[in-house]
């Protein structure tokens, strides 16, 4: 089979890949003179902005693009009786609403399983990665001005991370997910180690490397089990395999809801083993929990953030975290929606522990970067929380569809009875009702998948709001670190009198992270998540989130108060053009989100 490739779908990662090669070539041939590093930074920034422009054009076109597709007839594709191909799965199929917003222009029809999909889910995460990447490039220009770090290698590794993050959001098979996630992770510990002759940076790089290796090994074990159980690597076909074997079942606990309509495909494999599936789901969750620094796999965050250069810490807190969440959302909601009864309770417990432990540890910190590190851990808990109600939301939607189906069946039965007066009793279903029942159950599962959108959307919306706020805080910390090497929270005392602009920017970002007015972007983010949790029926998790929001107020407000506390001493201002621009861009985006949150909410659906 000769497979065509849709290069338009691959345009953004291709631009960044070519840019990474160009940066290495320029670094090799440009003369070693002052300002050479700044030129490479401008070239990198220009390339990232060009990729962002191409992404905007794809978004305006509103067409879903797919490539690297496998037809339904290959890879063990299953068919319904009568030869009709089973197309699509019950989950998001890569989108935020469970619907394909436009025609498919790439190789393969809608019934094909594709490894690379550019849809609204991909566009949102790619936009987040590119905007955050542009800000990190600006921060890098300030970090590299000292001349202690090789510039070409730095920008090459940074661009490699951006490519991996964008590929991961577009990945729709297990192999591409794992490879993309490693392309995000491996360059980061190299970036951390590029700060040579720095013991703390070397220690951070080693810890990050060990964490990356362990998390990858755990996740690969889980992924291999999923492949062994289902015989497929594509996420939609994994979902189909579970439905074909056991129907839509939400958990194994007493009182759990199970569809009464049997799914039985011709030639389908036997029911996937529930015990092995549980192990696979737990291992995959553990692997991603390492990547997003969720409890109990959070221990590396504080030391790594503090030891790494501040642009790398900002990259870890936003880009790497966004990539981890993109992969986690894809696997859980696209490949494993029928296993929500297994993973949703685990996610709920992890979310509660993550937000609590992160906030408690942040209260004890005296170093500014460590405080932001543990704050970032707590924010991961808030982002995870909406996914915990996935099983309840889908269960209710599925139950509603089943009830509607039963009502329709009863209505047809009444009509049949009225037509058969004075006739012998007849069956209400035709003799060949098996395929009809099975096809109906497939449609029920698809309809249940429509309700998945709001749950994932709440997590994605919070992630977008958080990215802008956190980048603004890291940008100001980067600026002050050039003046105060220890970078303790006490070093920010009286900052409003030394550098009013930086103090106002940091105060606004901290208030946003706390969720207080006038930082409305943080408030809107928390309201969106809180509403989904309450609507999903997890009242205890909503209470935990409310308590943790109050705990977070302590250290955010305490740090903000120090900024406006008078401190005797002369005035000193630190100037760094690229870092100041980064602060301005991050604050501008945060203000836009505070004034018009519908920009984000409408984008995620």
Q: Is the pLDDT at 323 greater than 90, yes or no?
A: yes
pLDDT of residue 274: 82
The whole-angstrom separation of Cα 80 and Cα 280 is 28
Q: Average pLDDT in the 211-220 region? A: 91
Closest CA to 226 of 286, 278, 167: 278
Q: Which run of H or of E encompasses 198?
A: none
Q: Which residue has the higher pLDDT, 332 or 397?
A: 332
CA distance 53 to 563: 37
Please state the rounded mean pLDDT for residues 43-49.
96
Residue 79: inside a domain: yes
What would you measure as the largest C-alpha separation in the chain, in angstroms?
Answer: 104
Containing structural domain, residue 48: 11-392+449-604
87, 110 contact by CB (below 8 A): yes
Average pLDDT value for residue range 92-108: 37
**Residue 112: pLDDT above 90?**
no
Interval 92-113 mean pLDDT:
44
Q: Classify residue 404: in a domain, yes or no.
A: no
301 located within any domain: yes
Report which of 509, 481, 500 is spatially closest to residue 588, judged by C-alpha positions: 509
Does the pLDDT value for residue 60 go beyond 80?
yes
**Taking 60 as the threshold, does the pLDDT of residue 194 lie above it?**
yes
Q: Which of 184-198, 398-412, 581-595 is predicted with the least confidence, judged by mean pLDDT? A: 398-412
pLDDT at 572: 57
pLDDT number for residue 400? 60
**Which of 50-59, 152-161, 543-552, 562-571 is predicted with the least confidence, judged by mean pLDDT?**
562-571
Question: What's the pLDDT at 403?
Answer: 61
Is the CA virtual torsion 93, 99, 104, 109 positive or negative?
positive
Q: Omega before 518 cis (within 30°)?
A: yes
Q: With contact defined as beta carbons under 8 Å apart, do 263 and 442 qualify?
A: yes
3-class SS of residue 89: coil
Say how many domains are in the chain. 1
- State how far the alpha carbon of 143 is from the alpha carbons of 20, 127, 302, 479, 576, in Å: 19, 24, 20, 10, 10
Check: CB of residue 476 under 8 Å from CB of residue 587. Answer: no
The predicted pLDDT at position 270 comes to 37
Distance (Å, whole) CA 546 – CA 32: 55
- The residue written with tokens 């009242």 in the block is 539
Query: Average pLDDT for residues 77-101, to the nearest whole number?
Result: 36
Domain membership of residue 176 (yes or no) is yes
Q: Which two tokens stand for residue 541?
A: 């998790």
Q: And the tokens for 298?
A: 């959070």
How does pLDDT run across 230-278, given as a tens digit for each residue? 888 999 999 888 877 643 343 433 333 333 333 333 333 334 558 899 9
Say what the pLDDT of residue 86 is: 37
pLDDT of residue 181 exceeding 70, the answer is: yes
Of 152, 96, 163, nearest in space to 130 by CA: 163
Residue 355: pLDDT band by 50, 70, 90 thresholds?
very high
Q: 3-state class of 389 per DSSP?
A: helix
Taking the C-alpha atoms of residue 426 and residue 444, their distance in angstroms, rounded to an integer, is 27
DSSP label at residue 253 = S
Task: Kindly state the average pLDDT of the residues 335-358.
Answer: 93
Asked if the model's pLDDT at residue 485 lies above 50, the reply is yes
**Cα 104 → chain centroid:** 24
Q: Which of 320, 352, 62, 343 is nearest to 169 (CA)?
A: 320
In a domain, 161, yes or no: yes
Question: For residue 98, what pLDDT is reported?
Answer: 35
Q: What is the DSSP string of 226-246?
A: HHHHHS--BHHHHHHHHHHHH
Average pLDDT over every residue of 158-165: 96
Residue 34's φ and ψ, nearest 5 degrees, are: -60, 135
- The answer to whether residue 567 scores a pLDDT higher than 90 is no
Q: Which pLDDT value is given to residue 141?
A: 92
Higher pLDDT, 482 or 575: 482
- Supply the pLDDT for residue 574: 59
Residue 89 domain flag: yes
Residue with tokens 């930086």: 502
What is the C-alpha to C-alpha distance for residues 394 and 332, in angstroms, rounded to an integer? 13
**Whether the predicted pLDDT of 75 surpasses 60:** no
- Could you tell me the pTM of the whole model? 0.83
Please say if the pLDDT value at position 101 is more than 90: no
- pLDDT at residue number 407: 65
Q: Residue 378: inside a domain, yes or no?
A: yes
Q: What is the pLDDT of residue 16?
A: 97
Q: Is the pLDDT of residue 74 over 90?
A: no
**What would the pLDDT profile of 387-416 be if each residue is shown by its tens digit?**
999 877 666 655 565 666 666 676 676 666
Confirm whether 249 is domain-assigned.
yes
Please spell the DSSP secondary structure of 411-462, one letter per residue: HHHHHHHHHTTTS----SS-TT-HHHHHHHHHHHHHHHHTTHHHHHHHHHHH
């Amino acid at each position: 089979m000769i497979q065509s490739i849709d290069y338009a779908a691959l345009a953004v990662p291709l631009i960044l890949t070519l840019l990474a090669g160009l940066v290495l070539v320029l670094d090799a041939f440009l003369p070693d003179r002052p300002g050479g590093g700044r030129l490479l930074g401008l070239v990198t920034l220009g390339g990232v902005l060009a990729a962002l422009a191409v992404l905007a054009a794809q978004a305006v076109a509103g067409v879903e693009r797919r490539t690297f597709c496998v037809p339904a007839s290959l890879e063990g594709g299953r068919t319904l009786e009568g030869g009709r191909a089973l197309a699509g799965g019950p989950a998001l199929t890569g989108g935020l609403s469970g619907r394909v917003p436009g025609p498919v222009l790439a190789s393969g029809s809608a019934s094909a399983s594709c490894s690379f999909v550019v849809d609204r889910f991909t566009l949102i995460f790619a936009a987040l990665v590119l905007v955050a990447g542009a800000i990190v490039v600006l921060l890098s220009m300030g970090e590299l001005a000292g001349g202690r770090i090789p510039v070409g290698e730095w920008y090459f590794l940074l661009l490699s991370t951006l490519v991996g993050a964008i590929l991961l959001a577009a990945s729709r098979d297990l192999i591409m997910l794992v490879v993309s996630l490693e392309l995000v992770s491996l360059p980061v510990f190299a970036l951390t180690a590029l700060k040579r002759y720095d013991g703390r940076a070397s220690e951070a790089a080693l810890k990050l490397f060990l964490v990356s290796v362990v998390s990858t090994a755990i996740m690969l074990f889980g992924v291999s089990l999923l492949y062994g159980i289902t015989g497929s690597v594509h996420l939609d076909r994994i979902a189909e395999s579970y439905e074909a074997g056991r129907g839509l079942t939400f958990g194994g606990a007493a009182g759990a809801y199970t569809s009464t309509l049997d799914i039985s495909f011709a030639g389908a494999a036997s029911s996937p083993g529930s015990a092995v599936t549980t192990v696979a789901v737990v291992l995959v969750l553990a692997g991603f929990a390492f990547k997003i620094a969720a409890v109990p796999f959070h221990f590396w965050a504080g030391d790594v953030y503090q030891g790494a250069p501040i642009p790398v810490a900002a990259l870890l807190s936003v880009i790497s975290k966004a990539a981890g969440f993109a992969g986690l959302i894809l696997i859980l909601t696209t490949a494993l929606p029928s296993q929500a009864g297994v993973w949703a309770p685990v996610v709920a417990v992890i979310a509660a522990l993550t937000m609590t432990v992160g906030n408690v540890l942040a209260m004890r910190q005296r170093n500014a970067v460590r405080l932001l590190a543990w704050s970032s851990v707590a924010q991961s808990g808030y982002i995870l929380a909406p996914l915990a109600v996935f099983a309840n939301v889908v269960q209710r939607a599925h139950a509603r569809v089943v009830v509607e189906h039963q009502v329709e069946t009863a209505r047809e039965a009444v009509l049949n009875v009225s037509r058969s007066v004075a006739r012998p009793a007849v069956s209400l279903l035709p003799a060949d009702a098996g395929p009809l029942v099975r096809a109906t159950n497939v449609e029920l599962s698809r309809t249940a998948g429509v309700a998945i959108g709001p749950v994932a959307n709440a997590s994605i919306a919070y992630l977008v709001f958080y990215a802008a706020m956190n980048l603004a805080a890291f940008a100001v910390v980067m600026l002050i670190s050039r003046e105060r090497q220890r970078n303790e929270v006490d070093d920010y005392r009286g900052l409003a009198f030394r550098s009013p602009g930086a103090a106002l920017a940091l105060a606004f970002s901290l208030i946003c992270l706390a969720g207080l007015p006038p930082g409305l972007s943080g408030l809107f983010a928390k309201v969106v998540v809180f509403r989904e949790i309450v609507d999903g029926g997890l009242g205890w998790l909503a209470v935990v989130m409310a308590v943790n929001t109050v705990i977070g107020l302590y250290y955010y407000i305490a740090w903000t108060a120090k900024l406006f506390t008078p401190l005797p001493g002369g005035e000193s201002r630190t100037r760094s053009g690229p870092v100041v621009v980064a602060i301005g861009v991050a604050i501008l985006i945060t203000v836009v989100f505070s004034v018009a949150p519908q920009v984000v909410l409408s984008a995620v659906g």
